[in-house]
Every structure is written in structure tokens, then in C-alpha cells.
């Protein structure tokens, strides 16, 4: 079976996306955590989801230095778009290391600012790996219903912490060439390399 790397946030959507792809791909999870800004409950929840979903490996990647660099160097309104691109670029590096052919996300069209059609297009254009979005056209209640059925809902529910450093009024539209210029404002490749070098890789027996 081919491999895929799934971005596992710990929220409701991404575990459902993983579940929907598990009969097609051998899934490896990647979680970008925000310790020490967030407490250890974030990572513990992800570990519980990994075990419940029956995944064999998860990368726990410290991402606060990357996110702080975005805040310092880039237009804050583009924070969520840039955050997602850099997470995807990191996951692409993991995919190459693992021999995986695709990335998997729980993105859902129009659910949040980074998931408008404009921003999804911009994000995809900056990632050199196939992206599977199995929940793209689902509404939130449909996703919740599946989460309850596969028993990830109770683990996942609760406040999300992905917006600790995010703007109050994020951009809902973007131009790929302008986002490229934003990324050129700092040496993100070095930040990503350091984050991945400091990642905890947990194999589940």
C-alpha cells in the first residue's frame, strides 16, 4: 500500500480525514505543536488520536519558532495562509523521507479563513506534493457525525489552539505571487529544518 502523510491537528476534522483515507493509504501523522505556548494537553490529545486511529507513526514537530518568525517578518493578515504553507512544506519533507506520495488534510472549503477557494489555491501552488482533501465539500455537521461514529469526537472536541498567534482579521483572499514575496522575507527553510531536526518521532507498536 502507498504511504501518505496526514496533518493531524487534534481538532475534529483531521482525524475524520485520516479515517477516510486509511483504506487507500498507509498513513503517517504529522502534528505541529505549540509548546511551550500551549500546555502538554495538546500533544497528549494527538497521541490518543493516533492510537485510536491505529496509526503506526507520528511526527511531533515543535513549530513555535516558525510561527514567531511569521509574526515578526510577514504581514500578519496572511498568517494562517503562510502557516499552512510551511506546515505543508514540512510535511512534504517528511513524505520524501518516508517514501510517501501524498499529503492528507482535514481542510473543508470555506470553513475558516485559510480554507476559502482563493487561499486553498494559493496554498496548493506553494506545495510540491499531491494534497488529498477528503472533507473538502462536507459541512461541519456531517464531519461531526462521522467523528462520533468512529469515536474520535470526544477526544477531539474542545477549544482549538491553532490561532494563538493569529490575527483577528485574517485574509480571506490571496494572490500566489504576493504570498511568494511574503515567504521570501525570511529564511524559512532553515527554520523548517531545525523544527524537523527537533521533532519527536513516535512509533506505535
CATH number of the CATH domain containing 75: 3.40.50.620
Question: What pLDDT is stored for residue 40 in this prediction?
Answer: 79
Look up the domain containing 149 and give its range.
3-203
Whether 135 and 108 have beta carbons less than 8 Å apart is answered as yes
C-beta separation of 50 from 204 below 8 A: yes
- Write down the pLDDT at residue 111: 66
- pLDDT reported for residue 160: 55
Q: The pTM is what?
A: 0.93
pLDDT, residue 138, reads 93
How far apart CA 30 and CA 45 sit, in angstroms, is: 13
| 135 Cβ contact list (under 8 Å, min separation 6) | 13, 16, 17, 20, 106, 107, 108, 143
What is the chain's pLDDT, residue by residue, as a tens digit (205 residues)? 899 999 999 899 999 999 999 999 999 999 999 887 777 788 899 999 999 999 999 999 999 999 999 999 999 999 999 999 999 999 999 999 999 999 999 999 866 667 888 999 999 999 999 999 999 999 999 999 999 999 999 999 865 555 667 777 788 889 999 999 999 999 999 999 999 999 999 998 7
**Angle of CA points 4, 53, 103, to nearest 5°:** 20
pLDDT at 35: 82
Domain count, the chain: 1
Q: Give me the pLDDT at residue 161, please.
A: 57
Amino acid at each position: 500500500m502507498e504511504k501518505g502523510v496526514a496533518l493531524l491537528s487534534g481538532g475534529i476534522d483531521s482525524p475524520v480525514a485520516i479515517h477516510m483515507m486509511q483504506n487507500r493509504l498507509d498513513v503517517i501523522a504529522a502534528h505541529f505543536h505549540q509548546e511551550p505556548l500551549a500546555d502538554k494537553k495538546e500533544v497528549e490529545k494527538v497521541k490518543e488520536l493516533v492510537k485510536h486511529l491505529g496509526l503506526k507513526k507520528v511526527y511531533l514537530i515543535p513549530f513555535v519558532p516558525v510561527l514567531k518568525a511569521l509574526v515578526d517578518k510577514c504581514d500578519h493578515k496572511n498568517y494562517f495562509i503562510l502557516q499552512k504553507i510551511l506546515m505543508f512544506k514540512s510535511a512534504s519533507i517528511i513524505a520524501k523521507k518516508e517514501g510517501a506520495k501524498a499529503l492528507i488534510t482535514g481542510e473543508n472549503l470555506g470553513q475558516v479563513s485559510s480554507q476559502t477557494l482563493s487561499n486553498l489555491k494559493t496554498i496548493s501552488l506553494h506545495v510540491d506534493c499531491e494534497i488529498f482533501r477528503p472533507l473538502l465539500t462536507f459541512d461541519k455537521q456531517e464531519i461531526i457525525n462521522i467523528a462520533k461514529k468512529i469515536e474520535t469526537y470526544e477526544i477531539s472536541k474542545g477549544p482549538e489552539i491553532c490561532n494563538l498567534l493569529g490575527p483577528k482579521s485574517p485574509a480571506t483572499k490571496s494572490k500566489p505571487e504576493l504570498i511568494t514575496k511574503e515567504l521570501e522575507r525570511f529564511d524559512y527553510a532553515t527554520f523548517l529544518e531545525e523544527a524537523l531536526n527537533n521533532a519527536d518521532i513516535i512509533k506505535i507498536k
